[in-house]
Structure 1
């Protein structure tokens, strides 16, 4: 019969010793710090000697504790290797995401690292084009994030990704030294067009009681390009603030807003996937993550 202390106490000790913290050991083992501390004290009682020197914010090993860790580490390594040899290999999952180019560049790509950290077993394959994907015909795309409401397709679920605010925005240099600006004052400036945008200058003018001027307007076929042109001082872009979060935060752009301005709020982006694949692990994970990111955006986190 083997004379051994509790395996759970040994595991708690090894984690706390390796990480130098009862709190971090609890996080790794999904237990509370007090539970880890209780198991370590139980082990110390079994040995009838202290294994840790407890300090306010950290713990350090005694000489006996270090000697025990030196022997336990290779033993736990052997146990882990033996279990890994018998365990079925983890299934590698891939998720093919098709996305509108500006949404991919300005919103999705900067956040994808969060998804990859949360779901290391899922590999993302990204593709991009202005046209929405035909999920009935293109089998190697799992999810599509479309700009503008896509055509209805049997068996395809379409979910709006929240209402977006579209506002005039420009470089602060363009209006430097001017006093308060009213909607009518925008006619003095160059207006930048983005022809693929579901919201056009004609919509904004109609909402704000203005007549659309016939002045020439430089045109960019991507919202991201229109935003870059505005940040460079070329003129005023009419774009969703979702695309311009970085430029607005860095002060490269300012929104033209005030008591006389009326904003346009619309659902602009839509998540599409096949209804039959709704509950697949990778699609469910991406939908949950995307919803959480959108909610954080809405809160301003």
Structure 2
């Protein structure tokens, strides 16, 4: 009589994901944020995994967790495995909907740089279905189904445009400003993510002066731009994001000093996005529009 031994069962995929994320990121809380579950859920999944494999993967202590030697040896293989799984899912989605391109973008770039270019893109590439998700930090394209990233990044092959800093305001507000020192007492509009921009510009325009802007702070750059357009104060602007308002005269630069940003507007795809004809065509068109607008 033939014997049919039970087929070995793999551990839970969720438990393996919890281990990989916690080991890669260095803690249960960070893993929970990435996986969108509680740290307790991560801890429970890892505990169940440790019981199933018969060995400890983490050492728990008051300050957090550390990988055991077993966990350290296992981590590279699981990182590679989940990277491959993420890329495979991305390719599956592309095969299912070949004309769809999903872009992850910094909110300010999505609203003020990308959106104005979409009508021209749609006219040139009417068959491409473009989706945009705004987020503060670039995603790991090996893990999530985005085709392109649009963010500020250090100069490199992915750069599509240089940008620079300069104060902007309405013409009425500009009449109250004669020299850069006048900004020390003016209402200055600040984006919370780019609060350092004022000091970066002041280091060039007001050398040796510590500059602390006086005025409201916004968590959305587009809101700060709208306030500048309404005459509420002076905005430390990224030129690329207010170029249309400068061209129309709705905003003006009261001083001639501008400071190049170290980071450039950059557009890239990671290995899962290269070689896809639709993605490559859209990226090329965005680069072309950036050059022609510049």
1:131 equivalent to 2:137? Answer yes
CA distance in 2, matches of 1:127, 1:133: 11
Structure 1 residues 119 and 213, CA, compared in 2 at 3 Å: closer, same or farther? Answer: closer
Decide which structure has the larger Cα Rg and report it: 1
Q: Tell me what 1:192 maps to.
A: 189
CA distance in 1, matches of 2:195, 2:148: 21
Deviations 1:5-58 (A, max 9, x none): xxxxxxxxxxxxxxxxxxxxxxxxxxxxxxxxxxxxxxxxxxxxxxxxxxxxxx
Structure 1 residues 270 and 262, CA, compared in 2 at 3 Å: closer, same or farther? Answer: closer
Q: Tell me what 1:292 maps to.
A: 288
* Alpha-carbon contact 2:152-2:263 (below 8 Å) kept: no
For 1:225, what is the secondary structure of its paired residue? helix
For 2:165, what is the secondary structure of its paired residue? strand
Cα offset, 1:189, TM superposition? 0.8
Q: How many residues align?
A: 197
Structure 2's unaligned 5+ residue stretches are 1-96
Structure 1 residues 119 and 268, CA, compared in 2 at 3 Å: closer, same or farther? Answer: same
> Which of 114, 124, 127 in structure 2 is aligned with 1:121?
127
> Which of 220, 243, 253 in structure 2 is aligned with 1:245?
243
Structure 1 residues 158 and 146, CA, compared in 2 at 3 Å: closer, same or farther? Answer: farther
Q: Tell me what 2:178 maps to.
A: 181
Cα offset, 1:244, TM superposition? 0.7
For 1:249, what is the secondary structure of its paired residue? helix
* Alpha-carbon contact 2:186-2:214 (below 8 Å) kept: no
For 1:168, what is the secondary structure of its paired residue? strand
Structure 1's unaligned 5+ residue stretches are 1-90, 151-156
Q: Tell me what 2:102 maps to.
A: 96
Moved more, 127-136 or 282-291: 127-136
Q: Tell me what 1:222 maps to.
A: 220
CA distance in 2, matches of 1:98, 1:276: 14
CA distance in 2, matches of 1:115, 1:127: 17
* Alpha-carbon contact 2:141-2:272 (below 8 Å) kept: no
Structure 1 residues 277 and 265, CA, compared in 2 at 3 Å: closer, same or farther? Answer: closer
CA distance in 2, matches of 1:277, 1:175: 46
Cα offset, 1:173, TM superposition? 1.2
Moved more, 123-132 or 211-220: 211-220
For 2:194, what is the secondary structure of its paired residue? coil
For 1:243, what is the secondary structure of its paired residue? helix
> Which of 195, 199, 202 in structure 1 is aligned with 2:199?
202
Cα offset, 1:110, TM superposition? 1.9
* Alpha-carbon contact 1:223-1:239 (below 8 Å) kept: no
CA distance in 2, matches of 1:215, 1:115: 38
CA distance in 2, matches of 1:269, 1:199: 18
Q: Tell me what 2:43 maps to.
A: none
Cα offset, 1:266, TM superposition? 3.5
Structure 1 residues 131 and 262, CA, compared in 2 at 3 Å: closer, same or farther? Answer: closer
For 2:167, what is the secondary structure of its paired residue? strand
Deviating above 4 A after TM superposition, structure 1's stretches of 4 or more consecutive aligned residues are none
1:112 equivalent to 2:118? Answer yes
CA distance in 1, matches of 2:142, 2:98: 25
CA distance in 2, matches of 1:198, 1:216: 12
| TM-score under structure 1 length normalisation | 0.59
Moved more, 210-219 or 276-285: 210-219
CA distance in 2, matches of 1:134, 1:92: 21
> Which of 143, 146, 159 in structure 2 is aligned with 1:141?
146
